Amino acid sequence: MRGISVERFGQAPELRKLPVPEPGTGQVQVAIEAAAVNPLDMAIASGALAAFGEYRFPLTLGMDGAGTVTAIGDGVTQFRVGERVFGQFWDQPLQFGTFAEVCVVQAAPVLGALAAVPDMMPADVAAALPTSGMTALGVLDHMQVPEGGTLLVVGATGGVGTFAVQAATARGIGVVATASAELAEELRGLGASEIVPRGIEPLEQALRRIVPEGVDAILDLVGDPLLTSRVAGAVRDGGALFSTAFGLDDPLLGDKRIRTANYQLDRKPERLAELTELVMAGTLRSVIGAEVPLEEAPRALAGEVGVTGLRGKTVLRVS
Ligand SMILES: NC(=O)c1ccc[n+]([C@@H]2O[C@H](COP(=O)([O-])OP(=O)(O)OC[C@H]3O[C@@H](n4cnc5c(N)ncnc54)[C@H](OP(=O)(O)O)[C@@H]3O)[C@@H](O)[C@H]2O)c1
């Protein structure tokens, strides 16, 4: 089968011919239809997460995907052959990712979450949901922005951001988002009420002008500690400043005036179920900025695939 893999940490991901993995006890084999790219994929390939798990090589990359179960191992009761599944295929040890024609994963992935694809949902839509959608829901839960409050999303045009803008809006939160000026209308279409154009004036200065009363919370998706330190003053007393991109340094994490955290995605199976419900209800949708064939994955991972409009998710068509 074809798959995008590395033979050691730090190697550039390449399209390779790989043996088809067979499911062991508790595992499902999935013929992948579509996969989606996350910053996490390159973090894993680089070895930056080497200390946080066990890895086997050649390591096929890809966490998010959707496809059809083609075989099950002993003891699998959650899924049957022929069923369409999607989710974050993050197993331990990790070897078989979703950037391949066939993937093998525990039916209940050790670090991820798997669920049935809702009827009629196209594979690309399903593949674009898991990591970004779950993260947006999770971080909003922890931030506890009150209904009627104001949230600033820094880095709103990407995977997590496009879901966070929609989910916050659906919770009755007013969203202020940073984006380049030409994407303002598209972000308003997701629910953002104010756009702070990037690169025109320092963000903290723009915030003093646009929201002089301050915001209830800031969600950082960029990961620049200098930037988060500069904008922290815009959060009202008792408000929240959270980052999914490890953008908060120790002084901010120790702040007593506001609640601060570098958030790590938790309770994945529950969040995947909630995400599915919200998508089926029409409350959230995947924003797919680019869709390319599997062999384009190395360029997609390097951020070299062109996007028209919001960046959202880059989806790989696998079969
Ligand atoms: N902790 C967790 O459990 C968890 C889970 C998921 C994701 N994450 C992390 O969360 C972050 C966001 O993930 P994602 O999937 O949304 O990434 P993404 O799709 O690459 O989006 C990144 C966003 O940041 C913006 N951005 C990048 N550099 C910027 C800069 N210098 N100034 C202002 N904006 C900038 C991008 O804007 P442009 O489109 O204009 O470039 C885009 O809106 C990543 O660091 C990811 O690793 C963590």
Closest ligand 1 atom to Cα of 311 = 39
| CA torsion through residues 25, 31, 36, 40, sign | positive
Report which protein residue has its CA nearest ligand 1's atom 31. Answer: 222
Q: Is 138 in the pocket of ligand 1 (CB under 6 A)?
A: no
Residue 41 phi/psi, 5° resolution? -60, -45
Atom of ligand 1 nearest to the CA of 227: 32
User: Residue 301: what pLDDT?
Assistant: 98
Report which DSSP code applies to 261: E
Position 199 pLDDT exceeds 90 = no
Neighbour-count burial of 25, counting CB atoms closer than 10 A to its CB (0-12 exposed, 13-18 middle, 19+ buried): exposed
- The pair phi, psi for residue 247, each rounded to 5°, is -90, 5
289 lines ligand 1 (CB under 6 A): no
- Average pLDDT score over residue span 3-26: 98
Please give the average per-residue pLDDT across 94-120, as a whole number: 96
Amino acid occupying residue 311: R
Residue of 200 and 188 predicted with greater confidence:
188
DSSP string, 70-81: EEE-TT--S--T
Q: Is residue 314 lining ligand 1, measured as CB closer than 6 Å? A: no
In the reported structure, the alpha carbon of residue 155 is separated from the centroid of ligand 1 by a whole-number distance in angstroms of 6
Length of the chain: 319
Q: How far is the CA of 223 from the centre of ligand 1 (A)?
A: 8
- pLDDT at res. 123: 98
132 CB within 6 A, ligand 1: yes
Pair of tokens at residue 264: 């790590």
Which protein residue's CA is at the shortest distance from atom 5 of ligand 1? 135
**Sign of CA pseudo-dihedral 163, 164, 165, 169:** positive
CA–CA gap between residue 231 and residue 179 (Å, rounded): 16
Query: How distant, in Å, are the alpha carbons of 40, 175, 178, 199, 243 from that of 209?
Result: 35, 16, 14, 15, 23
Closest CA to 191 of 223, 162, 234, 225: 162
221 CA → ligand 1 middle, Å: 5
β-bridge pairing 235-243 and 215-220: parallel
Report the nearest atom of ligand 1 relative to the CA of 156.
43
What domains are there in the chain, each with its CATH number? 2-127+287-317 (3.90.180.10), 132-262 (3.40.50.720)
What is the pTM (predicted TM-score) of this model?
0.97
Does the pLDDT at position 86 exceed 90? Answer: yes
Residue 233 has a pLDDT of 96
State how far the alpha carbon of 54 is from the alpha carbons of 37, 88, 90, 92, 114, in Å. Answer: 21, 17, 11, 6, 20
In Å, how far are 21, 46, 95, 212 from 51, measured between CA atoms? 25, 12, 15, 43
Q: Would the CB of 130 count as within 6 Å of ligand 1?
A: no
Q: By percentage, how much of the chain surpasses pLDDT 90?
A: 96
Beta-strand relationship, 150-154 and 194-197: unpaired
Ligand 1 pocket check for 46: Cβ under 6 Å: no
pLDDT of residue 308: 83
Q: Which residue has the tokens 């916050």?
A: 168
What is the arithmetic mean of pLDDT over 111-123?
96
Q: What is the mean pLDDT of residues 252-281?
A: 97
User: Chain-wide mean pLDDT for the chain?
Assistant: 97
Ligand 1 atom at minimal distance to the Cα of residue 138: 3
Is ligand 1 within 6 A of the CB of residue 221? yes
For ligand 1, atom 25, which residue shows the shortest CA distance? 155
Q: Specify the residue for token string 């002993």.
A: 74
How many Å apart are CA 17 and CA 27, to the nearest integer?
Answer: 22
Helix (H) or strand (E) holding 152: strand 150-154
Is the CB of 109 within 6 Å of ligand 1? no
Best residue among 244, 271, 275 to mutate for probing ligand 1's pocket (most ligand atoms within 8 Å of CB) is 244
What is the separation of C-alpha 233 from the centre of its chain, rounded to a whole number of angstroms?
27
Task: Tell me, in angstroms, the distance from the centre of ligand 1 to residue 157's CA.
Answer: 8
CA of 303 to the centre of ligand 1 (A): 12
- Say if ligand 1 is within 6 A of residue 65 CB: no
Q: Average of pLDDT values for 97-106?
A: 98
Q: Is the pLDDT of residue 92 over 90?
A: yes
Q: Which of 111, 175, 222 to mutate to test the pocket of ligand 1 (most atoms within 8 A of CB)?
A: 222
Q: What is the dihedral of CA 56, 59, 65, 68, to 10 degrees?
A: -70
The count of other CB atoms within 10 Å of the CB of residue 115 is 18
**Band (198; pLDDT cuts 50, 70, 90):** confident
* Confidence (pLDDT) at 309: 93
- φ/ψ of 216, rounded to 5, equals -80, -25
Confidence of residue 200 (pLDDT cuts 50, 70, 90): confident
Who contacts 254 (Cβ-Cβ below 8 Å, separation ≥6)? none
